[in-house]
Structure 1
């Protein structure tokens, strides 16, 4: 096997862990199954990750960045703020509907991290990333589209993170994408009404 930089092997193992955990669940996924999924030896796994916490941190960061990158790519100024906000929500929602198991994994990882002593910061960081992303996107749009918000940016960012999080769980439980799309339409109208 050709030598590969350790950062590339970590990425390969992280992606394999996401696939294995999405398919089998966090509790049933072992280091051995992740190494097999990646096509690497167990010793390479242990060379790249010195603890389960390090692996989970990499998985949480990577899976969160999947969603974040997709939304960032979708948020491009449209003719109106309403259309711009809707495009971002549509991109995120299309990913949820197409990849429900991956989104279910994010909640499973959150619960796992909250229940494992010493892992709580991983769940906190996951949710901080969601809020930070919304804050960055709001600030970027406010500057690009030249609008002023009627509420503080951090408050709106937390609201949007909580709303998309709750709506995603609701969809995973009830499986009704049309009802979720209606809620996103309502939130789009609400956000568009918070500017002057």
Structure 2
């Protein structure tokens, strides 16, 4: 039908319902962090597969449209959550060990700070392990997870370089030492999430710290 006869035709844009735009939040930085923290909580509780945009929105107390405003999709949200999680996991440890070059201090302060973080917020580490496992088969998560792991390795490697520069020597090659430290943290975190903090776990941690310290001697 000719649109000039009998009123506007179906493709006349004036007949389409208006779409209310998502208003920009008053404090976008805080709202974004609020959403990412909520996402980590949902991931810790339900895992990667059980995390949905609606559940995150409900947990954060915001409209789901805001999640699309910030992150476009679930993949974008999860990728941002991984980066945010890396900041939360590592910032305190990086600050605590900065400038240290004595093996005993590095092991005690670095390992202690990391472990206090694990014990103090195990759900955060449960979220990390869930995302880390999901990244093995989900290419969208692989790259942000790789970057967080690289940041872990670089932190350990930097302290190792500082110790060597201060006149210490290590019994293991650099790559093996970095792998040992990271694997220890990963393994103890899994043990904590499975059985809680037990005397056996504390003993194993203390023995591992002593073992790492013993791998260093004066050049």
Q: Which is greater in Rg? A: 2
CA distance in 2, matches of 1:61, 1:79: 28
TM-score, normalised to structure 1, is 0.81
Any residues of structure 2 matched to 1:97-176 within 5 Å, and which? Answer: 97-143=119-165, 146-176=167-197
Residue 192 (1) aligns with residue 213 (2): yes
User: Are 1:72 and 1:137, in contact at CA under 8 Å, matched by a contact in 2?
Assistant: no
Give CA-to-partner distance per residue, 1:96-134, whole Å, 9 cap, x none: 222222212211111222233543334433433322222
Mind listing any 5+ residue stretches in structure 1 that lack a counterpart?
Answer: none
Q: Counterpart of 2:77?
A: 55
**Which of the numbers 17, 20, 26 marks the counterpart of 2:48?**
26
**Which of the numbers 201, 206, 210 marks the counterpart of 1:180?**
201
Q: Whose helix proportion is higher, 1 or 2?
A: 1
Shift of 1:69: 1.6
Give CA-to-partner distance per residue, 1:150-179, whole Å, 9 cap, x none: 333332112211111112112222334322
Pair 183,125 (structure 1): closer, same or farther in 2 beyond 3 Å: same
Pair 157,16 (structure 1): closer, same or farther in 2 beyond 3 Å: same
TM-score, normalised to structure 2, is 0.74
SS in 2 for 1:29: coil
Pair 47,141 (structure 1): closer, same or farther in 2 beyond 3 Å: farther
Pair 8,23 (structure 1): closer, same or farther in 2 beyond 3 Å: same
Mind listing any 5+ residue stretches in structure 2 that lack a counterpart?
Answer: 1-23
SS in 1 for 2:50: coil
Q: Counterpart of 1:66?
A: 88
CA distance in 1, matches of 2:173, 2:71: 40
Shift of 1:182: 1.8
CA distance in 2, matches of 1:20, 1:105: 8
Q: How many residues align?
A: 194
CA distance in 1, matches of 2:149, 2:115: 18
**RMSD (CA atoms):** 2.7
